[in-house]
Amino acid sequence: MGRSSHEKIEYAKKLVGDGLLYEEIQKKLKDRYGSGMSNTTLKRMRENKSKIEDHSKRIGQLESQLTVFKKFYFELKEKMEKMEKEENSHSLENLKDNRGEEDGNES
């Protein structure tokens, strides 16, 4: 594909992105490059642009959800660690109490 073909495609993508009608795009392509492009190709470009926009929107939504899930994860992790420390502390106290009772029973 020659340089002008690549430029033509990029220019067509820009025009499609600008929301121009196929007829307007064809005229601009003919004026600039001497020939147009098939409407089927332009239709595919428009569909691809639409898919990309939809995917970009979906990515944004997923990133927001991920941020919320990460926040919940770290809050839950922090609470679990706190509960484990409290449980370990209580277990240690119970162990000490049990040893004290055993020492008292031995005498």
Q: Structural domain boundaries of the chain?
A: 3-106
**pLDDT value at position 102?**
62
Closest CA to 15 of 1, 31, 28: 28
State the pTM of this model. Answer: 0.52
Any residues with CB less than 8 A from the CB of 29 and at least 6 apart, and which? 8, 11, 12, 15, 35, 36, 37
Q: Number of helices (H) and strands (E) in the chain: give both, helices first.
A: 3, 0
Closest CA to 71 of 59, 79, 61: 79
**pLDDT value at position 94?**
75
